[in-house]
Chains A and B, each alone.
With several copies, the nearest count.
Chain A
Amino acid sequence: MKRTTILCASVMALVALMLLPTVASADTFDAAGAESLTSVGINTMWVVVAALFVMFMQAGFAFLEIGFSRGKNAGTIVAKILMNFSIAALMYWAVGFALAFGGTGELWGSTGFFLRDFGDPSVAFPAMSFSDVTVDGKFFFQFTFCAVSLAIVWGTTLERVKFGVYAIYAVVFAALIYPIGSHWVFGGGWLQANLGMQDFAGSTAVHLIGATGALAVLLLLGPRRGKYGADGRPRPIPGHNMPLFGLGILILWLGWFGFNPGSTLGALDGRFPEVIIVTQLAASAGVIMAIITSRLLMKKIDIGMAGNGAIAALVGITAPSGYVSPWAAVIIGAVAGVLVVVSVLAIDRKIDDPVGALSAHGIAGIWGTLACGLFTNPALADYNAVGEGGLFYTGSFHQLGVQALGVVTVFAFVFVASFITFFLIKKTYGLRVTADEEDAGLDISEHGMYGYPEQFIPAPELVGVGPVQTPAGATASSGMKPSEVPA
């Protein structure tokens, strides 16, 4: 019954809310009532529409993981993504958003819990005050980023983690870890405000944070049974469905057109289409280089690698997307495409990352953040009023150093916080299912039914529970000639 108690933690949050004074809502509403201006309308619409595409990335991550899992572990991912997305929403609304954007604290924010009583929005959320988008619009957009970061965490845990682990860590991650980490980078925290670290849409703040959590849990979880032979050599455990994997990649690619260009937090300055172009060029270069690298290193064009190349390039261009010119985007994406293939092959030798999350989000996230230090266009640094031009333009290593410092500190914070969290979970609830459950698959053992019953349950069992119901001979002609089918 442990699991129940765990899940109940989430209920607490709900109960708490119900006790809130009903006046609560008023604020939000009045706040909005006033803002009936054209500019607000246009910018808010863009940010909200962008947020919807980012929200859809949940499906992208789900199918990327489903495709890379074996059929016996495919269904649980659906329950996981639904639960995580839900917990993230409640936690980020109750606590996370306030910590991430509420006020000017160097380490964390402090106003706007439950989106209430924050007074003047531009004062309450200074890091986003350059935009006139409504607070609700900004909140929803930022929440979808939190959900993306959380989704990235689980890529390394497929096929063996206990279901309850998702719930427990999700609460901590969405309420504390992600908000604090992202606050430093683009919520007005010390890295951004004091040092001028550049991370336009979150190569570090979203992707590296997620990948760092993924690394922490993987180290405590260990590889899937059978992943490494007696000789310690890695064995292939092929994912069961490349088409669904492809669906995931294409949905993620689409979502990125909300992710990066939406981070302009406005449409009227005409910047967002440029960000889209930069994003597309990088992704394209990434796919092509990943395919070529895979062909050269593995003699085959690995389908998964082509997809990883797209993701890695998109992650790589996330931080620079608002700071670099198209030509630089091509380079950034191309490098990410090569990096991810090499990294996946190297990592696979020792630790078991079924979807390549450490490479596609971690390594590529680091590369993307550092790339600002190399390629940031001074004109765009000024335009965004964050940091300065990159080495390539200025010849100065300053920005590159700032970026590196940001990567290191954020990684350190998230890794320590996550490792502690997962360590405590391991000692109490446990991280991993039993060997028998792992062999049987998470769908049947955690959810009581296979995700693809017809693949695992013999037809005679599926039809015949108890004596036959059908009139004798009914099925004898179930192979009807067309003419036998009443038209």
Chain B
Amino acid sequence: MKLVVAYIRHEAFEPIRQELLELGFPSMSITEVKGSGRQKGVTEQYRGSSVTNYLRPKVKIECVVATGDVQTIVDSILRHARTGSIGDGKVFVLPVEQAYRIRTGESGEETLQSHPDPAAAV
């Protein structure tokens, strides 16, 4: 199993979520992060003094998938997150040794099984 971590722009998230859902990967977690990279900062002014904020808001996607599915996920992210301009972000792949589904207690790759119709469940 692998953990795919991606840092992307806010607008890119929704299309990615939808495609992964269609591909049968409804499960993921996102976090609002601040990223620094090649992108310019924003300069703020207040009553005369000013400060530059070098951190730009990004969305971090974390998605643990079976090793065989990694490329599918990465491709989908690369396709939708790309605008071609600085600040598009990065994707990283990390090894995962074990996984558990809390609800059932089951462990291993099957906890990552894609569900046909995620919307059906309550």
Contact = CB atoms under 8 A, between A and B. Distances in A.
State yes or no: do A and B come from one complex.
yes
Interface of A: 233-238, 297-300, 302, 304-305, 344-345, 348, 356, 440, 444, 448-450, 453, 457-461, 463-468, 470, 472-473, 475-477, 479-482
A12 to B, nearest CB: 27
B47 A305 contact: yes
> Which of A345, A449, A470 has most B Cβ within 10 Å?
A449
A302 B45 contact: yes
A235 B45 CA distance: 10
A477 B42 CA distance: 9
A234 B34 CA distance: 25
Given A238-B44, A461-B55, A482-B43, A476 B49 contact: no
Given A463-B11, A479-B53, A344 B47 contact: yes
Nearest to B57: A459
A358 to B, nearest CB: 13
Contact of A236 (B41, B45, B54): B45
Give the top 10 A-B pairs by smallest Cβ distance, nearest first.
A464-B14, A479-B42, A448-B45, A473-B85, A236-B46, A476-B85, A472-B83, A460-B13, A468-B11, A345-B48
B50 interface: yes
B44 A457 contact: yes
A379 to B, nearest CB: 41
A444 B56 CA distance: 14
Given A464-B13, A479-B56, A348 B48 contact: yes
B51 interface: yes
B93 interface: no
In which size bucket is the chain B interface? 35 or more
B84 interface: yes
B49 A458 contact: no
Interface in B48-107: 48-51, 53-57, 59, 83-88
Given A302-B45, A458-B32, A476 B86 contact: yes
B11 to A, nearest CB: 4
B10 A463 contact: yes
Given A461-B53, A463-B10, 19 more contacts: A236-B47, A236-B50, A237-B46, A298-B48, A300-B45, A345-B48, A440-B42, A457-B53, A458-B30, A458-B53, A459-B59, A460-B10, A460-B13, A460-B30, A461-B34, A461-B55, A467-B14, A468-B11, A477-B40
Contacts of A466: 14
Contacts of A482: 43, 45
A299 to B, nearest CB: 8
Contacts of B113: none
A473 B84 contact: yes
Main secondary structure on chain B at its contact with chain A? mixed
Contacts of B34: 458, 461
A32 B100 CA distance: 80
A235 B52 CA distance: 11
Contacts of B46: 236-238, 302, 304, 448-449, 453
Contacts of A465: 14, 51
B30 to A, nearest CB: 7
Contacts of A453: 44, 46
28 contacts: A236-B45, A238-B44, A300-B45, A302-B46, A305-B47, A448-B46, A449-B44, A449-B45, A450-B44, A453-B44, A457-B44, A457-B53, A458-B30, A459-B32, A460-B14, A461-B51, A461-B53, A464-B11, A464-B13, A464-B14, A464-B15, A468-B14, A470-B11, A472-B85, A475-B10, A476-B83, A476-B85, A479-B42
A241 to B, nearest CB: 13
B14 A236 contact: no
B87 A298 contact: no
Interface string B9-25: 11111110000000000
B120 interface: no
A441 to B, nearest CB: 11
Contacts of B10: 459-460, 463-464, 475
A302 B122 contact: no
Contacts of A461: 14, 34, 51, 53-55
A476 B51 contact: no
A344 B48 contact: yes
Contacts of A238: 44, 46
A470 B50 CA distance: 21
A110 B65 CA distance: 76
Given A236-B44, A348-B48, A450-B44, A468 B32 contact: no
B41 A479 contact: yes
A348 B49 contact: yes
B33 to A, nearest CB: 9
A233 B50 CA distance: 11
Nearest to B88: A476
A145 B49 CA distance: 34
A31 to B, nearest CB: 43
Contacts of A297: 48
B45 A479 contact: no
Nearest to A353: B47
Given A234-B49, A463-B11, A465-B14, A473 B32 contact: no
Contacts of A463: 10-11, 14
Nearest to B8: A460
Contacts of B49: 233-236, 348
Contacts of A475: 9-11
